[in-house]
A and B are shown apart, each in its own frame.
Chain A
Amino acid sequence: MSHHIVEVKELKFSYPDGTPALNGVNFRITHGESVALVGANGAGKSTLLLHLNGYLTPQAGSVRIGDMPITKSTLKHIRQIVGMVFQDPDDQLFLPRVYEDVAFGPMNLGLPPDEVDQRVMSALALVGAVHLKDRPPYRLSGGEKRAVSIATVLSMSPSILVMDEPTSNLDPKSRRQLIHLLSEFDHTKIIATHDMDMVLDLCSRAIVLRDGEVVADGAARDILDNRDLLDASGLEKPLRLQGCPICGNSGKNQQL
């Protein structure tokens, strides 16, 4: 039995006011894959992410994590398997001290205090934030907040990491550090993003969403090089694959 498979079949969802968000989404992500979920604003990325840990229930179709469908009785288990990192760290860090926040998940799992402590410290060590453990979260910089919010999820030892715009609002250096950090994880990763250069660095596969449907699903390098597809989906090629404004190189010969 593998916990690492995410399978979405004919998933449909519209919001209570009638706005359709997803019109039959299909994909299957297997163990260890690193998948980018790209698409214009309003394409349905966030709505899709909210289905992956059972916050929203499919109106039609199904979502399966590992061998389990998402239902009320499997919810607790699924939320431990699928770790979700939110776009705004302020939503994720709600306790007065970093340590308590990272310990929140493990404590809810009912682990003994020693185990909690060990998990908290190793999660903080993994993201390089041990020195922040006694600080209040609202006093951290954007990059520190992001690192800590990833630690809050890692401390539950999830098999699948789901991230919404992990590089947004980060300065270039913090962004680079984050990408480096994520590249070291061997979790199955699903990353919703507009940062196409990060996709180039991190993801082997990309799923393109447009108006609530999957319009392309394949190797990231093929999709990132397909100008017509990207154009039609409100996206652009990664900057590194675009022409150089100084030397006039068209970017065609760029090595992927």
Chain B
Amino acid sequence: MGSIDSSFFDIGHLDALSSKQTPMHRVDPRAKVLTTICFIVVVISFNKYDPAGLAPMVIYPMAIMTIGNIPFSFIMKKLLIASPFVLSVAVFNPILDRSPAMDLGLFSVSGGFVSFVSIMAKYVLTVSAGLALIACTGFDSICSAAAEMGVPRVFTIQLLFLYRYIFVLGEEAVRMTRARALRSFGDKGLGMGVYGSMIGQLLLRTMDRAQRIHLAMLCRGFDGEIHHSRSSKIRLSDVLFFAGWSGLFVMLRLYNFPAWLGKELGRLI
């Protein structure tokens, strides 16, 4: 059961990171969310046969993690957990697309392989930027930033509750799997069938709890809207943060920096 326990508590770790005090944490959440969206859009827009052009983009997640004092190893671990899904999408590219795309003297690299590398690079960049954003902002601040920027309340409230109760639901699931494991004596218990009813149980318990939470909200005058108290002003530094980074992203997209660097270096030599 160790694996479920530990991956569950890791979410809490992500949350704990967001309460640090660094210059990166102090940037307005709205500015960070917009910048990260801009980053993701630019990264995705790169041509799939141009993984080299993506390389300089790594500067943004790196900067967030360094200035925000977020451990690289933590983000890397999270990336590894999700990587099988992306791998299974990208892995067929080298097989299906065999046209040579690059000539490296002795070898020629197929287009499929190049696009494979570029998909993986895009995955690493976008997801690490997203995780770093949550780690240095806090999920609740991201939700309220989204709400302030006009995302419908229905979505932001759903997200907020999802995040709040994933801990409670996780604990409940951990307790159930533990109870099952302790009485199955290292065997398979009653096999897969028992998981079906456990998931059903979990759903019923969740619905019960949802009802109680709704009741608790009604008791305190809930009328379909959560009123946020924090409504901070955007400062000049926040605008500069957004403008500076997105300007850089666009520049890196329009001008192939690595190619230029290679050419210049070649001329120097």
Contacts and interface: CB of A to CB of B under 8 A. Distances in A.
Interface string B217-253: 1111111001111000000000000000000000000
B215 A55 contact: yes
B221 A79 contact: yes
Interface string B38-71: 0000000000000000000000000000000000
A105 B221 contact: yes
A84 B219 contact: yes
B29 to A, nearest CB: 13
A50 B219 CA distance: 10
Interface in B156-211: 160-161, 163-165, 167-168, 209
Contacts of B222: 104, 108
B226 A95 contact: yes
Interface SS of chain B: helix
B219 A79 contact: yes
Contact of A96 (B12, B139, B168, B220): B139
Contact of B220 (A88, A100, A152): A152
Query: For this complex, into which size category does the number of interface residues on chain B fall?
Result: 20 to 34
Q: Which of B12, B161, B218, B221 has the most CB of A within 10 A?
A: B221
A139 interface: yes
B87 interface: no
Contacts of B228: 100
A89 B219 CA distance: 14
Contacts of B220: 79, 104-105, 108, 152-153, 156
A100 B138 CA distance: 15
A21 to B, nearest CB: 16
Contacts of A94: 161, 164-165, 213, 216-217
B140 interface: yes
A180 interface: no
Contacts, number: 77
A139 B217 CA distance: 20
Q: Which of B12, B19, B164, B168 has the most CB of A within 10 A?
A: B164
Contacts of A55: 215, 218-219
A95 B226 CA distance: 9
Interface string A65-105: 00000000000100110111010101110111101100111
Interface SS of chain A: helix
Contacts of A83: 219
A113 interface: yes
A107 B227 contact: yes
A142 to B, nearest CB: 13
Contacts of A95: 140, 160, 164, 226
Nearest to B229: A103
A91 B140 contact: no
A138 B164 contact: yes
A104 B164 CA distance: 15
Q: Which of A76, A96, A107 has the most CB of B within 10 A?
A: A96
A90 B212 CA distance: 10
A5 interface: no
9 contacts: A50-B215, A79-B219, A84-B216, A96-B140, A108-B223, A108-B227, A113-B229, A116-B229, A138-B164
Interface of B: 12, 15, 19, 138-140, 160-161, 163-165, 167-168, 209, 212-213, 215-223, 226-229
Given A109-B221, A138-B164, 19 more contacts: A50-B215, A55-B218, A79-B219, A91-B213, A91-B215, A91-B216, A94-B161, A94-B216, A94-B217, A95-B164, A97-B140, A100-B228, A104-B217, A104-B222, A105-B220, A107-B227, A107-B229, A153-B219, A156-B220
